[in-house]
């Protein structure tokens, strides 16, 4: 058994440009790297750190505080996010004729999605840096999460959301006291409006990968997966992907754990799943470009409707480094997948979560995944949020 760590402190060293490695000061407000116009990434001094640094007395993502960027414990804004369960999907595995299929269920997070991780971290660091007003563009779940954490932190929140988003997602932002602005278009249009508001009011723009700390919250997914699999990782991880902080964060965590000599065996092959109606990463992975005919449409899986992600190069790097792949599923396949999984395993997944199962089915059929391999799916949110 791992001994409980004593009070752990952040080992953050700096923020670095993800293209040229130029260092930036983590003690002042930063967004993305102005040198190369790419995301910044936090680096840590992990010398002497190990799995024994995990605070076993903490049952949230903050058990990994030694590898997270918040310096002072009093600045942590937490609703007990993270430490979500991994469940066996044995009936579905039997149906597919494979040995091992499991799912990490992020729907049990506060506000019902994996966005709680990134926004807990982003808002905590904003509090530590003295930021009092935040604006965020969102396809849905990130807006609700930021509204909740800003409410707890006493920070003003402005959420820019597409008009077609589900009423539940709109209402939760308002209930948490956020200023909700609805516009026509997808999240790229919301991002443009957020930039305008940030420029005119001085609010901090919390857009995906355009600040360095939401990634650090999502990174805890990788730490948890490794710990829950007893440091021997699955062969394949399938992730529904929009802005990309999830798979990028998981991959970052695995490499930090390698530095601590914590992981046994090989790293998994990473799979990014997108909807057929909005699949920029699949196009870029398969052909290197977006086709002239690229015309992104709204998806019922709101989190997948990100036509121009800022962290494109980082997502592609995860795929190349892991020998992974990218694949699409149709809107109808996702709807059917939700029903199949519910009737077989008694779990109501988000459409994004169901997409991962459909992707596994397709990759098994074409031989990319072998029946003896261990497959982990990620359900990023709650079905109930989309009503």
Beta strands in the chain (DSSP E): 12-17, 23-24, 40-44, 86-88, 100-105, 133-137, 156-162, 179-183, 204-205, 236-240, 269-275, 325-329, 374-379
Instruction: Report, as an integer, the average pLDDT of 238-256.
Output: 97
pLDDT digits (tens, 9 = 90+) for 20-71: 999 999 999 999 999 999 999 999 999 999 999 999 999 999 999 999 999 9
pLDDT score recorded for residue 4: 46
Give me the residue spans of the domains in the chain.
12-75, 86-110+213-386, 115-205
| Cα separations in angstroms, 140 against 18, 19, 204, 325, 334 | 27, 30, 19, 26, 18
Q: 115-205: same fold as 86-110+213-386?
A: yes
The CA distance from 357 to 377, in Å, is: 7
- Residue pair 272/335 in contact by the 8 Å Cβ criterion: no
pLDDT-based confidence at 264, cuts 50/70/90?
very high
Contact yes or no for 16/43 (Cβ under 8 A): yes
Would you state the torsion angle of the CA atoms of residues 285, 291, 295, 298, taken in this order, to the nearest 10 degrees? Answer: -10
Q: What CATH class does 86-110+213-386 carry?
A: alpha beta
Average pLDDT of the segment spanning 257-282: 97
User: What are 137-172's pLDDT values in tens digits?
Assistant: 999 999 999 999 999 999 999 999 999 999 999 999
Span 106-128, pLDDT tens digits:
999 999 999 999 999 999 999 99
What CATH number matches the domain at 115-205, 3.40.50.1100, 3.90.79.10, 3.40.930.10, 3.30.1180.10? 3.40.50.1100
Give residue 2's pLDDT: 47
| pLDDT for the residue 386 | 83
Give CA angle at 216 (212, 222), nearest 5°. Answer: 145
Residue 211 has pLDDT above 80, yes or no: yes
Angle between helices 312-322 and 245-259 (to 10 degrees): 50
* Kind plus residue range of the DSSP H or E element containing 153: helix 141-153
Q: Does the pLDDT value for residue 8 go beyond 90?
A: no
* Statement: residue 301 has pLDDT above 60: yes
Q: In degrees, to the nearest 5, what angle opens at C-alpha 273 toward C-alphas 317 and 158?
A: 85
- Length of the chain equals 387
| Dist. CA 130–CA 28, nearest whole Å | 9
């Amino acid at each position: 058994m791992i001994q409980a760590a004593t009070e752990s402190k952040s080992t953050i060293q700096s923020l670095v440009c993800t293209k040229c490695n130029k260092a930036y000061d983590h003690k002042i407000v930063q967004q993305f790297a102005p040198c190369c116009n790419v995301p910044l990434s936090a680096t840590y001094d992990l010398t002497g750190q190990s799995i024994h640094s995990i605070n076993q007395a903490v049952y949230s993502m903050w058990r990994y505080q030694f590898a997270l960027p918040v310096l002072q414990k009093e600045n942590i804004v937490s609703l007990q996010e993270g430490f979500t369960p991994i469940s066996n999907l044995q009936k579905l595995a039997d149906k597919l004729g494979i040995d091992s299929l499991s799912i990490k269920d992020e729907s049990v997070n506060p506000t019902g999605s994996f966005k709680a991780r990134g926004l807990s971290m982003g808002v905590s660091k904003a509090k530590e840096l003295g930021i009092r007003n935040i604006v965020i563009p969102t396809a849905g779940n990130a807006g609700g999460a930021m509204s909740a954490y800003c409410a707890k932190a006493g920070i003003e929140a402005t959420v820019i959301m597409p008009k077609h988003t589900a009423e539940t997602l709109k209402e939760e932002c308002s209930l948490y006291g956020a200023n909700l602005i609805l516009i026509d278009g997808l999240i790229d249009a919301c991002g443009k409006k957020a930039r305008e508001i940030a420029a005119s009011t001085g609010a901090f723009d919390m857009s995906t990968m355009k600040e360095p700390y939401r990634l650090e919250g999502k990174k805890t997914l990788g730490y948890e997966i490794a710990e829950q699999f007893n440091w021997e990782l699955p062969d394949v991880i399938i992730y529904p992907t929009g802005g990309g902080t999830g798979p990028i964060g998981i991959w970052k965590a695995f490499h930090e754990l390698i530095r601590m000599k914590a992981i046994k065996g090989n790293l998994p092959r990473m799979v990014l799943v997108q909807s057929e109606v909005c699949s920029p990463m699949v196009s870029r992975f398969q052909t290197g470009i977006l086709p002239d005919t690229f015309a992104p449409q709204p998806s019922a899986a709101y989190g997948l409707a990100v036509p121009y992600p800022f962290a494109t190069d980082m997502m592609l790097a995860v795929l190349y480094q892991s020998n992974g792949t990218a694949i699409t599923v149709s809107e109808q396949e996702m709807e059917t997948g939700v029903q199949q999984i519910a009737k077989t395993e008694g779990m109501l997944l988000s459409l994004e979560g169901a997409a991962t199962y459909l992707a596994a089915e397709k990759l098994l059929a074409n031989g990319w995944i072998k029946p003896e391999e261990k497959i982990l799916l990620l359900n990023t949110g709650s079905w109930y949020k989309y009503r």
